[in-house]
Structures are given as C-alpha cells and as structure tokens.
Structure 1
Amino acid sequence: MSRAAAGAFIRRHPRWSLLFALCALLWALDRLFPPPLPSGNDGFIVLARDGSPLRAWPGSDGAWRYPVTPAEVSPRYIEALLGYEDRGFRWHPGVNPASLARAAWQWASTGRIVSGGSTLTMQVARILEPVPRTPRGKLRQIVRALQLEWRLSKDDILTLYLNHAPMGGIVEGVEMASRAYLGKPSRELSHAEAALLATLPRAPSRLRPDRAPQAAQAARDRVLARLERFGVWSPEVVADARIEPVIAQRLQGAWLAPLAAERLRGQARRAGSAGLTRVASTLDRELQATVERLLADRASVLPPRVSIAALVVDAATLEVRAYAGSADFADNARGAHVDMVRGVRSPGSALKPFLYAMALDDGLIHSESLLIDAPQAFGGYQPGNFQADFSGPVSVSEALQRSLNVPAVDLLDQIGPARFAARLTEGGIKPRIATGEQPNLSLILGGAGVTLEELVGGYRALAAGGVAGKPRLTPDAPIEEARLMSEGAAWIVRDILEGGGHPDRPFVEGGGAAPLAWKTGTSFGFRDAWAVGVSGRYALGVWLGRPDGTPNPGFFGANVAAPLLKDIAAALPHEVVPSRERPATVQPVDICWPLGTAAADTPAPLCHRRRSAWSLTGAVPPTRPDRIDGSSLRQTVWIDPASGLRTVPGCGHGQPRDTARWPTLLQPWLAGWLPADQRVPDWQPGCAPAGGAPAATLRIVGLNDASRLRPAPHQRHVSLQLAVRGAQGPVYWLLDGRRVTPDAGGKLLLTESGAHRLTVMDEGGRHHSVAFTVDAPP
C-alpha cells in the first residue's frame, strides 16, 4: 500500500486506525515489559521408578517443587481448585469483571479489602511478580494476567499455578505439598485432601497442616461447603469428606540414593537442561532404602574413614535397582560425597571368573581339569595364595571357588595378559594400567583398576547367557551390551560359583529363593574388599574400603564384603525362580586324573582319580604338561618285577608297563595321597639314565625322616635350622603344604605340636620331604 493510499484509508476509517495503533502499542509494551515467567534454575528432582521423589534440589529462590502437569494431578484437586477459586477460569480473558466490581464495591463500602476478586490467572501473576495489595498493585496484577492469557494457553497457566502455588515454608506446588504433608502423589488425593490443598495457598503459613491442623481443617470445611453450594460436589461426597481428619506428617529432608541423584543431575546439566526439571530413574525405592539401611548398619561397626558402595542391577534389562555410592551420605568422615560405585580400584581376584570362562571357550579346560597349586615362578613373578599355603592337585572348580592364585596365573600365562585385557575391555570392563605399562600376569590378582559399576555389568553375563552390559540409571538410557563369554561358559562358571560345578552333586533348583553365585576379591595391602555375584535375575556387588586408598589390615572380601552381599541378596524381591536350563553345548562327562581325558577313553590302570565334569561343546582337553617336564603324561616305563623299581631296557629284567605320570610339581603332594601302585616307582640303583633321578640330588640337611623334636625347658617352641643341599636356583619351603619363609639366618620357629611334614622344592621341580613330630611343651 502506497503512502497516499494509507493516508486515504486513515481519513475514511479513523476508528479502525486508532484500534490498529492501540494494538500495536500494546504489542510493543508487552514485548518491552514481558511477564516474569519462570526461567533458569527452578529446581531439580530425581524420581524412583514408581514416581516417588528420591532427592530434590531447590530452585534459585530456595523453594522446593515437584513439577507436574494438570493431567498428572487428581481431577478432584482440579475441581476443588477451580470450583473454589475461579469457576470462570476456562472462559474469562484473565480477569473477571463481575468479581472485580464486587471487590471494588466491598472496598468502597468498608474501607478495607474484603475479597480480592482475583482470578486464577491473576493469582499466578501475583506469584510470579508479588505486588502490594493496593489499587495500583491490583492494576499491575490485572495487566500481568492479561499478558499471561495473551501468551499462554489455559493449561499452561494452570500448570504454573500447580507448580508454584505457595504451600507453606519452602514448599511450593501441589505435588510437593501432597508428598511432603500427606506422603502420597497428588494423583491419589481424596476429596478431603484435595479441598485442603486447594485452600492452603490462601494462608500457607497459618494453615500448614503439620503445624495447625485445626485451622487447616476449618479452612478445608469452608472449601467443602462452597463446593457443595455451587454443585461442584454432591452433599454425600462433602459429608464423607468432612469426616476425614486432617493428619499431616512433619516436613523432613529424607533423601534416598543421593549420589545416584547427583550423578543424574550432573548428566542433565551437561545436556543443557534448565528450568523446573525432573528425571525418572530406574531405582526401586523400597530396595534402595533397604540397601542404604544395611550399609549404614554395617558402617556403624567399621573403623573410621571406611566407606561402602553397593550396586544392584536387573540383569534382564540392565536397569539399576539400588545404587549406594557411600556408606552414609551424612558422614563426611567416611567420604560421604565420594561415589565409589564409579571409583577406580584394584579388584583383587574378582576378575578370575572371566579368565576361567575364557579358558573354557578356548578349549583349554573343562570344569574338572587338573591344575597345579604349587610354588612356581613365571619369569621372575612368584605368586602365592592368600592363605600362604598350597594344595597341590586341584580342579578348575576348586581353584575358582577357593580363589587360588597360582592356578589362575598359570592359566593367564597360557592365554596371554594382553589378550585377556582386550576381552575385558570389549565386555565393558576397562582395566586401568599405569601409563606406558602393558598388561602382565599380575592383572588376574588385581594389577589393574576397575569400577564396581563395570564389575557388576560384567558379572551380569553370568545371568544373561554370557552377554555383559552397562548398567542403566534411567529408563530411556540406551542398552549397551557386549558378549564377554559364550552361553555355555557362563552357565558352567555360574554353576561353579553357586555350588561347586559338579554334575554328580544333588542339584535342586527352582521354586525357592534364588541361589547366589558370588566371588570375592581383596587388593594388595587390604585396600579394597569386594564381593560380586548374581542371584536370580539380579547382578549385584559390594565394595568396602577407604576412599583415599589407605589400607585396612585384616579386611578382605570374604570376611567383610561377602556377608553384606549375602544380606543384600536376601533382601531382593522374592519371586519364584525357574530352573536354569542347561545349554545344549554343556554336557556332563566323567574324566580321569592325571591325564584329564574322558574316562571312557582311559584304561582303568591310568585312571587314578575319576571325576565328573562339565564339558563345553564336547571338548575334553587333556591335562597340560607341567613347566618342568614337557613330556607326555602318558608313558611306557620298565619295571623290574623282582624289586618293583623302575629301570631301563637292558638293565636287569625290566618289563614294559603303560602308566600315567602326574605333573612334576605335584610330586610332593602324592605321597600319602596316591596309592603306591598308581605312582611311578623310584629308579633302581644303577639303572637310571643320565638326569633320570634329579630329586636324588636335592636333600634337606639337619632334619631326618621320623625325627622327634622336643621344646627346650621353659620354651613353647622348637627352632628349626633349615638348610638344603643340591638345589638349583631359589627354593620353596612348605610346612604341611603351607608355604613358610625362614628368617635371614635360616631359622624357623614351630609352636604347634604333633606330626608335620617339611618339603623343599627348587625351580627345577626337584623336591625332598621329611616327616617329623614335635612334642608338646613340658
């Protein structure tokens, strides 16, 4: 339109032009002076999976709110609110002329404000921008109400009221008031409770139901009378509501899962969330409260600065059901704010189940493969067991259940530390190793850092067909899974951890409480105690230690972490546990020691010990030769029939005999354990080939077989002077199978009377033993 045409239009239609100009002015004023809508930090709340609040943070003004929409609030409250405060809310433009006229007449007649004539929109305007109760303040309130109606929908305005109406003290909004005073969500309000919360904003300090229940009940009854008078509720409903007493709980700041909530809040901040925010978690409120109570009870008897962390995950969905990052969030002395669910610590032996599963998948072992628990050196690395003793011949099941170190290191040496670390990383368990270092054999004994969250996610594979996963704290978090082991290996390892892994044992499962398959771990120096496992459909774990990494002498996984893990497992939701179906790849098979082959394929004279094992994919791998003698364990030897001793062809009248040889490092344990007819005889004098009788050159000096020792007068011990002749390299001393170390002078003090056996071994596998007796002190 040209300027001339516009001028002609103004001259012909002056009223329309004036209206247009007025609208333009109002639009400009609205943009220049917008209503103060909520923005910025308006509070944050984390919810349990049932919608109940776990932890909340106040808004920038210090008020506590729980954001809801009208659809999430009981219709009874909406009826009570609009029926009492603003019956014309849905049709008026923000102000009700009739109500304003009535309020003005009352003010002019009495000289004071009798009723404000405010609509719900005007109340929202006053909440957002408090003004004095004067004509000028009322005019400003009206303008703001008109602006709100111009900018927002009716439901948006109602939502502002639901979330910001003052409810007493620092509580704002109907949902927070309902949960704080009544202990229930607003969607479950009764008629009486709805009427109570509808009137509370009129005088929130004077009508607080926890402090003034009588005043609150009187105000509630006035609301009920008005709702009956205007036909909002029937007389019968109102009569029933009047009977209900006003009972409110006192405001209290009880928090659950505070560190999990803090974690979710941090994630929301990094994602750029602002304003009134609520985040739904996967946590089970009841289980969370139980776990926190168990941790607090256990912490009460622990030394200062010791903390605990626990995690429970639904193995089916990877949803976290309980998350406790510290023992007591109110105890700063125990590192209350340090989240040890995510703390990187040494796992001790807690990685061993993954190693045995990998060896099963590689076809190196079955569940009863013969392993060697004896002193060994692996390129200078000499691991020992936690109890410092050795058991000699052990099965895979025994080694895993008893957490023996030497068999695990031996197995890792065969698999390769770098390959094992890579498999763990693929499965979500990320071993942290010092910068510039490579994975080594200490990895299986805790020589790398992991987190409780990663461990529980890894153990989840035992309950999910070998698939590990990352625990999820929110329902919308993506499912991150990775195969850590085969389904069959997971089933065998879980069976071992549950009950020993023997196919011939009584196996009763289903219809009762879920058994717990668990493993402990203790890091070097007693810095970390772990217990991790699976029970039914849950994967769970416990860590105990000091967040600063200082030692706790005498604290190890079995005596402090495992009992707590069992208590948590007992508190898991009770449900009928169906029998776990054994995968088709897992079959029972009888095997023979020492060869490790199937009993059906092993001649009876070579089957020294028959054991029932689980085989994976039909594989029955034989016992691996020991590191000392790499020759086959199945040999043909020549026996002199007259002496029964071993000989060679051409020396005497030897006759060939097929025999099974036990690994060299196990020889010290065979005497008294293996019948003589199953042992390879000693060499006949003069008939041993060169190097054929290495053990004969190794001898304990100073203590003869069948010796009898007696403590000196007024002494309660005997002193042994340990010496050896013919050793090559370092030697290991075993007293009754337990490794002992003499002092710098070679002395060893004995305080236990009775029969003993002293054994010495060198790194060449040679050994010598003597039996002796210590008399009781006089």
Structure 2
Amino acid sequence: MKFQRKILIGCGASLAVLAGLVFGLDAADKAFPPPLEKAGVVSAEVLDADGQLLRAFATPEGRWRLKTSVADVDPRFLKMLVAYEDQRFFDHSGVDPLAVGRAALQFVTNGRVVSGASTLSMQVARLIEPRETRSLSAKLLQFVRAVQIERRLSKEHILELYLTHAPYGGNLEGVRAASLAYFGKEPRRLTVAEAALLVALPQSPEGRRPDRHFETAKIVRERVLMRAAVEDVLGDGEADRAAGDAIPTRRLHLPAYAAHLAEAAIRKEPRSDRHSTTLRRSIQQGLEHVARETAAKLSPRVSVAMVMADITTGEIVGEVGSADYFDASRSGWIDMTRVNRSPGSTLKPFIYGLAFEQGLVSQETIIEDRPADFFGYRPKNFDMSYQGDVSVRQALQLSLNVPAVRLLDAVGPSRLMVRFRRAEVRPVLPPNEAPGLAIGLGGVGITLKDLVQAYAALANRGQPMRLGNGIEDQPGLIDGEPLLEPTAAWHVADILSDVLPPQGSRRLGIAYKTGTSYGYRDAWSVGFDGRYVLGVWVGRPDNGAVPGIAGYQTAAPILFEAFSKSGVPITPLPAAPAGAMRIAQSELPISQRRFSTTSSGLISASTRERAPQIVYPPEGAKVDLGARSGEISPLALKLQGGRAPFRWLANGRPLAEISRRRTSEWMPDGAGYSTLTVIDAAGRAASVRIFVE
C-alpha cells in the first residue's frame, strides 16, 4: 500500500510538473509571439478592372514586395517548391524531425553541412524576423518561431507568406515581383522552366541571379528540375525539355501605367495596399504608347493627354495625363485631363443639336457663312475666308464659325450652358461674365474629362453618363433630362460620322470633331463609335502658344491612331431612332429651307401679324397618354395666332401633313421628354417641352 501510494504521489508530481511546463510554454508563447505584423507590409498596387497590375509602389524600405496568394501562382510551381524545399511540409508542425536527424548525421559523418533541415515554416520565420548571425541560438529561435507560426496560421497562409517574402535578389521579394521582373508576367502563367528557376533562387538570391550569374542560375534550375522529375511532379521527358529553355539575362521594369491615376489612388487611401480602377490595361498600354510616340515628334514642351470611356457604363477605360510622367520638359507630372483649357470649336456640335431639337434647322437647311456683326462681336473663320451659302451639314463638317454663332444666337448661350449642366459638365466662364456668343468658339474653360463626358452623352443618344475611373470619380447613369433629344443627337452624330479622316489616316467608322483654341494653345479631337468615346488634347501645360498646331492636323491623327492602337473593335454607330432621317432640301417646309435671323432670332417675313402660340399642351406639362400600359393615345395640339398653313415638328422631325387648321394630332413614339414646335407660313415659330407618360 505504501509503495502504491508513493507511485501515485510520484505520478501526481510528474503530471503537475508536466502541466506546469505546458502552462509555462503556453504562457511564454503568448508573451513572446512571432512578429507576424511585420509580414503585413507589402507594396501598394493599383489594378485595372480585371485585376491586372497597372502600377506597384515600393515599400518604405525600398522593396518590391507584392502580396501573393496561392491562387496567384501556377500549381506546378507550388508542387516543385514543396518537393525541393520541404517534402513533408503538409505533415509536420513547423519542424521536420526526420530532416533534422538527417542533417545532423550528415554533419557528423562528413564534418560539414551537407543539407539543411529548414522547413518552409522555418524559412518564413527567418524572413519575417531576420537573424543577424548564423548561430545555434538563432537556429533554435527559428525552430521555436516555426512552431509558433504553425499554431497560429494554416498551411496555405504559411505558403502565402513565403510566396510574398522570399528573396530573389536586389530589392525583389516574393514570387510575383520576381516573375514580373525576370519574365514580364504574373506567376500564374509560369512555364516549367520558369517555375524551376524561381524555386531555386531564394536559397542564394544574389549568387544565383540570372541577370548576373547566368551559368549558376542554369545549374540550379536543372537541379530543381531533376528533383521534380524524381518526385514525379513532372511527366516523362518534361524536365529534359524544360532544361533547354532560355534563361533571362536582364531584369525588366515592373508595370508602371496610369502614373497620374496611381498617384491619386495613393493620396486618397495611403494605408490601402490594393486600389481598383475601371481602366483596362491593354487599352491603357496602347494609349500611352501613342501619346509617347506622337509627343516625340512634336515640340519638346508639348504634351499629349487622352481620355477613353465606355459610353454604356461611364467607365473610363484609358486615361493618359501626359506624354511622359517623368519628362520635366513637358511638365509631365501635371495631369492635363483635369485642367481647364479653351475647347476651341469642340462645343459646336451641341449648338447644332439644340437647333435641330428646336426645329430651327434641318441638315440640308441653307445657312449663310458671311461676315456678320452680333452687337459688336464679329466672328471670323479659322482660315479667314467665307463659304457663302452652305447647308447646315456642311457648316458643321467644315467647322465654320459664323454659322455656329448664328445658331447659338438663336438657341441662346444660357440654354447651352444649362444643357451642359444636365450632363454634370460645367464649363468655366471668365470672371464676372455671363454666357455669351463667344462660348461657341471656345470662350470658356473645360477639362478634357468633362469634354469627353459631354460627347459620351451625345454618343449615347443624348443620355448623360457620369464618367469615372473608380478612384477620383465613380461612373454611372445621370438621372434627369437628356443633354439632347435622341433625334437631335442622331442628326449631329450622322453629320460628324461623315467628316473625312485626317490625311494619312484610314476611315474607322467613327464620328469625330476637332477644335483649336485661340492663339494656337490647344488642339483637340473627340471621336466616338457605338461603344467608346475618346478625347485627345495637345498643347503646352504652361499654356504657351504652339505655332502650327491645329485640331485637324495635330490632334485628329492622334485620335485615329489611338483608336486603332487601343485594341477595341469598332462598334457601328446606332441606327437612326424611329422617324429620324435626312430630308432633302427641296422636301423641307419652306421655313426650314433657309435659316436667317432677325432681332428675335427667328425667320420673320412680316411683323404685322401675331406670331403663333401653342396653347395646348402648355410648356412643361406632364401628359398621361397611356405609355406605361403600352397603348399610347394621340395628343391633341392647339395653337393661336400665326399665318396658315402650319408645319408641326416633334423633336425636330416634321409631322406628316401641313395643316391650315389650328388643331392637329401627334402620336408619340413612347414615354419621355419631347419638344413640339409649330412654324407658320411666315417662318415664325413657337415651341413647348412636355413629358409623355
């Protein structure tokens, strides 16, 4: 009994000691945890809409360390890595006893280190807590840290820490940075030979760098391939074939696209390591290449900026703030997509759109291009010559100044500015000035981004879209009234689609307009197809004059080349909306055959009679015609005054018959805003804007 009691007492004491030891180790583990927070410092990345890297920023200590997950890497690389570095990685708890025993036996037998016993977990411990010297105490600490890490993290998480922090020579850390620097691609697309080289480099990153030690890199790559073949990671003959692949001999630059946007992303969220944009890297590459190449042919101080957007979503898919961000002679650090400049003639299409919408003109209406005086404002054409009588279509295609000012005088500069506000586009007027006729020829300031946003609405049948790059602004539909009615927008696009391409450029099936600001300071060109809109600006960031630049000769060729190099297929322009068509000059109502203005801004053969006035429907009325149910009823139209016969127009399109009665009917195409106009025999007009429900 006494003997049994002693045994029980001894067992209890042993258990107490063991429990105390376990408790002490657990307490020590909690008191001295591994510094995993150091593993959280990675390079900030700016990504395109598909998650592709646009630009990375080095860590504060100057390292290229791109966060890498298991999914980011080719599975064969992971298999080769485990086979070469830590065959029992998924079975041990941080330290591999078999590997330790083997290494110790080899050391005793050979008197030197033949193979190491470091597991991937131990290597992670060393990477996040570098040792200053190679000593037994440092190795023991590594053992302890590896066990601690295994207690806290999953095997996949440990692998990801290795993939992110493994050294690859110089300031490269992690397999993504190495793959981009040596092969110019992400590691998910590695070949067998490339994967083998990246498995071998971290063991001696400086001594095995392929760009400095080619033969050594080749030897260690073959060593990894042989091990992978022995472990059945590779198929028959695969290692031999991979051994014949070339080895890179130089280090590449990491992707560095969209410099201005990338800097803006870092300023906005400096603590984030991933910033997503709406850009498409392939499009961005093409636009930057065109900007850089074309700027090299221009004056050293001249820069190029571009914005390309998807008109269906408002997403900016390409954005170039300057020809070269690092070119000081061109002030490359200035983002010229966000700087207000004079737009030249690029606002003219919107003037014509308003004139079409109000029924003042049709495409074949004759308009005068002769010297004119608008209360002291005397616009002149760019080439200082005049064409005489031209059609409205020709006037817009030739970008004649006097006809544009005549139409702006009729529709009203303030109304044009209101329409821009519908698209959230806000041209900047000179201080203390009200909108005047000069805005039609560039007498306002506007950014390239805003100008492209206005054209996006034009290309989108008048429906405004908010353009955004995902960082500075978010894309999306702008609720409210359209910038222009669909029929008016179609007429403008139809005219611009027939403008001849610049010399040396082939037809692309796009509609486009050019502009040159006063004093040859800015050259512009904006074009669109059925899906994308692209704007180009050329000039000096310091607003200096550039003799010889012009929208058609300088910016338009860049527009056409950029559209081609962007890689996007040309989408045909949309078909005309219901009822919209070109009408021959001989078939136009007499009041639309020639445009001329009096002080009222409209044609007037006589002032003795009272001008026509629409009494029903009233201005701004909401009229329920059953559009929601799908069975639309006709709308009664009533007018007073004027001289018969009367021509009615709906959204700029003449109704079927000329009537001598003061009542008529109109069958809407559908719900939404519409503009109704009546023109009498004397050419006097009246309009109302209504909403059909």
TM range (shorter): 0.7 to 0.9
Residue equivalent to 1:682: none
Residue 514, structure 1, aligned to residue 508, structure 2: yes
Could you tell me which residue of structure 2 aligns to residue 565 of structure 1?
559
Match of 1:430, as an amino acid?
Answer: R
AA aligned opposite 1:129 = E
* Larger radius of gyration between Structure 1 and Structure 2: 1
CA distance in 2, matches of 1:220, 1:373: 76
| Cα separation, 1, equivalents of 2:278 and 2:576 | 34
Q: 1:63 to 1:328 in 2, by over 3 A?
A: same
* 8 Å CA contact 2:55, 2:262 repeated in 1: no
The offset of 1:191, in angstroms, is 2.3
Offset of residue 163 of structure 1: 1.5
Residue of structure 2 aligned with 1:394, choices 390, 397, 403: 390
Match of 1:689 in 2: none
Cα 1:398–1:555 shift into 2, 3 Å: same
Return the letter of the residue paired with 2:389: P
User: Are 2:337 and 1:338 aligned?
Assistant: no
- Whether the aligned pair in 1 keeps the contact of 2:212 and 2:249 (CA below 8 Å) is no
Distance 2:260 2:600 in 1: 56
1:632 to 581, 584, 604: 604
* Cα separation, partners in 2 of 1:366 and 1:239, compared to 1, 3 Å: same
State the TM-score, normalizing by the size of structure 1.
0.69
Aligned residue type for 1:264: A
Q: Which residue of 2 aligns with 1:79?
A: 79
Match of 1:270 in 2: 268
Matches of 1:158 and 1:486 in 2, distance apart? 59
Whichever residue aligns with residue 280 of structure 2, its letter is: L
Alignment of 1:342-353 (within 5 A): 342-353=338-349
Structure 2 CA distance for aligned equivalents of residues 634 and 135 of structure 1: 109
Give the unaligned 5+ runs of structure 2. 1-11, 501-505, 609-693
Counterpart pick for 2:545 among 543, 548, 551 = 551
* Matched residue type, 1:632: S
Distance 1:80 1:11, change over 3 A: closer
Superposed displacement of residue 225, structure 1: 2.2
User: What is the Cα deviation at residue 635 of structure 1?
Assistant: 11
Q: Cα offset for 1:544?
A: 0.9
In the alignment, which of 271, 285, 302 is matched to residue 306 of structure 1? 302
**Matched residue type, 1:454:** D
Contact 1:513 1:576 in 2 (8 A): no
Q: How far 1:120 sits from its partner (Å)? A: 0.4
CA deviations 1:495-524 (Å, max 9, x no partner) are: 1112269xxxxxxxxxx9632321111222
SS in 2 for 1:550: coil
Q: Could you tell me which of 19, 29, 32 is aligned with 2:31?
A: 29
Map of 2:182 onto structure 1:
181
Cα distance in 2 between the residues matched to 1:17 and 1:211? 55
Letter in 2 for 1:69: S
Please name the residue that 2:218 is paired with. Answer: 217
In structure 2, distance between residues paired with 1:535 and 1:65: 41
Q: Which residue of 2 aligns with 1:645?
A: none
Asked if the contact 1:532/1:540 (under 8 Å) is kept, the reply is yes
Corresponding residue of 1:417: 413
Change (3 A) 1:164 1:228: same
Deviations 1:229-253 (A, max 9, x none): 33433444334333x3232151132
Check 1:278–1:122 CA distance in 2 against 1; reply closer, same or farther (3 A cut): farther
Displacement of 1:203 after TM fit? 1.2
- Aligned position for 2:620: none
- Does residue 528 in structure 1 map to residue 530 in structure 2? no
Alignment check: 8 A CA contact 1:348 1:524 kept? yes
The alpha carbon displacement at 1:584 in A equals 0.6
The one-letter code matched in structure 1 to 2:68 is V
Aligned to 1:486: 485
Task: Look up the SS of the partner of 1:349 in the other structure.
Answer: helix
Aligned to 1:742: none
Instruction: Find out whether 1:431 has 2:403 as its counterpart.
Output: no
Distance in 2, matches of 1:296 and 1:514, equals 22
Per-residue CA deviations over 1:349-392 (Å, capped at 9, x if unaligned) read: 11111221122223332222333333333333332222223333
Alignment check: 8 A CA contact 2:510 2:573 kept: no
> What is the alpha-carbon root mean square deviation over aligned residues?
3.3
* Structure 1 residues 279 and 250: alpha-carbon distance in aligned structure 2, compared to 1, 3 A threshold: farther
Structure-2 separation of matches of 1:137 and 1:12? 31
When the two structures are superposed, what TM-score results if normalisation uses the length of structure 2? 0.77
1:591 to 585, 593, 596: 585
CA distance in 2, matches of 1:340, 1:553: 20
- How far is the alpha carbon of 1:168 from its aligned partner? 1.9
Deviation at 1:123, TM superposition (A): 0.6
- Bigger shift: 179-188 or 622-631? 622-631
State how 1:247-258 maps to structure 2 within 5 Å: 247-253=247-253, 256-257=256-257
Q: Structure 1 unaligned runs (5+)?
A: 1-9, 502-511, 593-597, 608-619, 637-778
Question: Is this contact kept in 2: 1:488–1:586, CA < 8 A?
Answer: yes
Give the match's secondary structure for 2:345. Answer: coil
Match of 1:375 in 2: 371
CA positional deviation for 1:288: 3.6
2:497 counterpart letter in structure 1: E
Shift of the alpha carbon at 1:282? 2.4
Structure 1 residue 148: deviation in Å? 2.0
Q: Structure 1 residues 144 and 436 mapped into 2: Cα distance closer, same or farther (>3 Å)?
A: farther
For residues 59-138 of structure 1, the aligned pairs below 5 Å read 59-108=59-108, 110=110, 112-131=112-131, 132-138=133-139
1:307 and 1:546 in contact (8 A); partners too: yes
Residues 1:238 and 2:239 are matched in the alignment = yes
Q: Give the distance between the partners of 2:22 and 2:53, measured in 1 at CA.
A: 51
User: Is the partner of 2:584 in helix, strand or coil?
Assistant: strand
Cα distance in 1 for partners of 2:355, 2:15 equals 94
Q: Give the conservation status (yes or no) of the 8 Å contact 2:364–2:583.
A: no
AA partner of residue 598 (structure 2): D
Matches within 5 A, 1:664-683: none
Q: What are the equivalent positions in structure 2 for 1:288-299 lying under 5 Å apart?
A: 288-299=284-295
CA positional deviation for 1:166: 0.9
Partner Cα separation in structure 2 for residue 630 and residue 79 of structure 1 = 80
- Measured after TM superposition, the shift of residue 533 of structure 1 is 1.3
Alignment of 1:150-189 (within 5 A): 150-189=151-190
SS state of the match for residue 211, structure 1? coil
Taking the aligned partners of 1:451 and 1:304, their CA distance within structure 2 comes to 23
Q: Secondary structure at the match of 1:37?
A: helix
| Mapped pair 1:497 → 2:496 | yes
Q: Distance in 2 between matches of 1:365 and 1:629?
A: 13
- Asked if 2 retains the 8 angstrom alpha-carbon contact of 1:385 and 1:404, the reply is yes
Deviates further, 529-538 or 161-170: 529-538
Amino acid of the structure 2 residue aligned with 1:375: P
- Shift of the alpha carbon at 1:416? 2.6
Percent of paired sites with the same residue: 39
1:111 shift after superposition: 5.0
**What is the one-letter code of the residue matched to 1:213?**
F
Letter in 2 for 1:490: A
Aligned partner letter, 1:263:
L
| Post-superposition offset of 1:464 | 2.2
Does the alignment pair 1:282 with 2:279? yes
Quick one: which amino acid aligns to residue 498 of structure 2? G
> Which amino acid letter does the alignment assign opposite residue 304 of structure 2?
I
**TM-superposed deviation, 1:305:** 1.2
Evaluate the alpha carbon distance shift between residue 629 and residue 359 of structure 1 in structure 2; reply closer, same or farther with a 3 A threshold.
closer
Give per-residue Cα distances to partners, 1:395-444, cap 9 Å, x unaligned: 32122112222222232233332332121122132212244433222222
Q: Shift of the alpha carbon at 1:117? A: 0.8
1:467 is aligned, of 453, 463, 471, to: 463
Choose between structure 1 and 2 for higher RCO, CA contacts under 8 A separated by at least 6 residues.
2
Aligned residues: 589
Structure 1 residue 49 displacement after superposition: 5.5
> What letter is aligned with 1:384?
K
> Is the contact made by 2:516 and 2:524 (CA closer than 8 Å) also made in structure 1?
yes
Is the CA contact 1:74–1:187 (under 8 Å) kept in the aligned structure 2? yes
| Secondary structure of 1:295's aligned partner | helix
Q: Deviation string for 1:296-327 (max 9, x for gaps)? A: 33323322311111233333444434332212
Partner secondary structure for residue 529 of structure 1 = strand
CA contact (8 A) 1:522 1:528 kept: yes
